[in-house]
Chains A and B, each alone.
Chain A
Amino acid sequence: MKTLIVVLVLLSFLQVTLIPLNLVLLILILRAYLYPEKINLYLGFFLGLLISFLDSQTLGVYSLAYVFFIQIIHIFRKTPFALHYFVIIPAIVLILSLNRIFLSVVTGSSIQLWPQILKESFLIIPVFLFLKIWEERFVVKPEVKIRL
Chain B
Amino acid sequence: MKVIPHLQLFLTLVFLSILILFLDNLHFLALPKTALSYITTPIQFGLYSSGQTAGKQFYFIFSARFAAKENKALKEQLAELLSENARLRRNLSETESLLEQQETLDPRVYNLVSARPIGLDRYLKIDKGSRDGVKESQAVIFKDNFLGRVKQVSEKTSSVELTTDPDFKLSAFSINKDGKAKGILIGKFGSEILMDKILHEEKIEKGDLVYSEGTEGFLPRGLILGIVGEVFGNETQVFKQAKIKSVFDIRDLELVFLMSD
Contacts and interface: CB of A to CB of B under 8 A. Distances in A.
Given A41-B10, A59-B29, A64 B18 contact: yes
Contact of B13 (A61, A67, A109): A67
B133 interface: no
Q: Interface of chain A, helix or strand or loop or mixed?
A: helix
Nearest to A18: B51
Interface stretch (A47-55, A86-94, A134-142): A47-55
Contact of B47 (A18, A36, A57): A18
Contacts of A42: 9, 13
Contacts of A49: 20
A16 to B, nearest CB: 5
A71 B18 contact: no
Interface residues of A, number: 37
Interface residues of B, number: 46
Contacts of A44: 13
Contacts of B14: 64, 67-68
A64 B119 contact: no
Nearest to A110: B167
Interface string A1-29: 00000000000011011101000000000
A53 B40 contact: yes
Interface stretch (B91-99, B151-159, B201-209): B151-159
B122 A71 contact: no
A13 B118 CA distance: 11
A50 to B, nearest CB: 9
A71 B6 contact: yes
A128 interface: no
10 smallest CB-CB distances across A and B, nearest first, come from A20-B121, A60-B21, A60-B20, A64-B17, A63-B17, A59-B24, A18-B51, A17-B119, A56-B154, A17-B47
9 contacts: A13-B40, A16-B119, A36-B5, A42-B13, A44-B13, A55-B125, A56-B158, A59-B20, A64-B14
